[in-house]
Amino acid sequence: MSPLVDPASLQRLRRDLGGDEAVQNRFVNDFLALWHSRESRLRTALASADLEEADVVLLSIRSSSRMLGAVRLENTAGRLQSTLKNRDLSGCRQQLPVLAEVGADTCLALSRHLAA
């Protein structure tokens, strides 16, 4: 099973941000603050069969997860996005609880990182 957060990716992000820990922490905090709205937007999009909106939300989750090294969340969102590309809304809806759980676990891991 892939890790929730890859510490090397967080270090790389900090380097990419000029070594500024405060900027990195702000990025992490923004991710944490946006998680519930992203999850809610995805649920709404899938409930209303808005495939374009669901794809946009999943792209957002995947790209920010990749930047933070949130490996498991990125992979989970990728699987859901593949299901979406097959236009399998039922399959997408079935995967939402897993995405929600991995997202919550990832947020907890990132919060612990900030506290350390």
What does the block give as tokens for 64? Answer: 């920010």
Question: Of 81 and 7, which is predicted with more confidence?
Answer: 81
* C-alpha distances out from residue 101 to 12, 106, 107, Å: 26, 8, 10
Question: How high is the pLDDT of residue 80?
Answer: 98
How does pLDDT run across 29-71, given as a tens digit for each residue? 999 999 999 999 999 999 999 999 999 999 999 999 999 999 9
Question: 106 pLDDT exceeds 70?
Answer: yes
% residues pLDDT > 90 (the chain): 84
Residue 86 has a CB neighbour count (10 Å cut-off) of 10
The model's confidence at residue 2, banded by pLDDT at 50, 70 and 90, is low
Q: Could you say which DSSP state residue 32 is in?
A: H
Q: In whole numbers, what is the pLDDT of the chain averaged over residues?
A: 94
Task: Please answer whether residues 31 and 10 qualify as being in contact, where contact means their C-beta atoms are separated by less than 8 angstroms.
Answer: no
Average pLDDT for 78-102: 97
* CA terminus-to-terminus distance, the chain: 24
Number of residues that this document lists for the chain: 116
pLDDT for the residue 83: 98
Contacts of 71 by beta carbon, 8 Å cutoff, 6+ apart: 2, 3, 4, 5, 6, 9, 65
